[in-house]
Amino acid sequence: MQNSNLPDEEQKFRVRKLEVSDYGKGFIELLQQLSVCDSVSNKEFGDRFGELSSLGDDHVVCVIEDELSGKIIATGSIFIEKKFLRNCGKVGHIEDVVVDSTVRGKQLGKKLIKFLTDHAHSMGCYKVILDCSHENRVFYEKCGFKQKEVQMVMYFV
């Protein structure tokens, strides 16, 4: 009975928006599992938090906090691009999704993605997109995504 304790887990692993106090709950350390992210001071975090907050619902960072440990164990973000195309349509861009390596297999990634795609839908987006590795494609297919184009990149540093 894998899901017999689902209501408790639902409560325990609730998705919510990032708060400024999450800096002290391991948010940056969690991002380090995804990519390079060293030396972010509390002030730098607060400044960027303020910049993103000023965008309101057009840029949302969500997290899951383990209420037992008080640690941030999953995060993902979405921003809403406003276009002229598609009759002045909007597109949600999902970025920086990571689940703590010690708590994988609990469907936390799926919960995050549902939160983010629901947000895009509620904002009136006609689609939501993301880029991922070949290995993670199957996960996103299970979340309802389909493979479409190829991502190209140019690095400056």
Examine residue 4 and tell whether it contacts its own copies (CB under 8 A).
no
- Number of C-beta neighbours around residue 122 at 10 A: 10
| Options 15, 28, 62, 74; binder of its own copies; rule CB under 8 A | 28
| Site track for its own copies across 61-100, x = CB under 8 A | x---------------x-x-xxxxxxxx----x-xx----
Cα gap 66→22, rounded to integer Å = 12
87 in Cβ contact with 46 (< 8 Å)? no
List CB contacts of 30: < 8 A, sequence separation 6 or more.
72, 73, 74, 75, 98, 100
Examine residue 155 and tell whether it contacts its own copies (CB under 8 A).
yes
Cα gap 25→18, rounded to integer Å = 11
| Site track for its own copies across 134-153, x = CB under 8 A | x--x--xx-xxxxxxxxxxx
Cα gap 139→136, rounded to integer Å = 5
What minimum distance in Å lies between the beta carbon of 106 and its own copies?
Answer: 22
| Options 63, 108, 117, 119; binder of its own copies; rule CB under 8 A | 117
- Which residues of the chain form contacts with its own copies (CB under 8 A)? 27-28, 31, 34-40, 44-45, 47-48, 51-52, 59, 61, 77, 79, 81-88, 93, 95-96, 117, 120-121, 125-134, 137, 140-141, 143-157
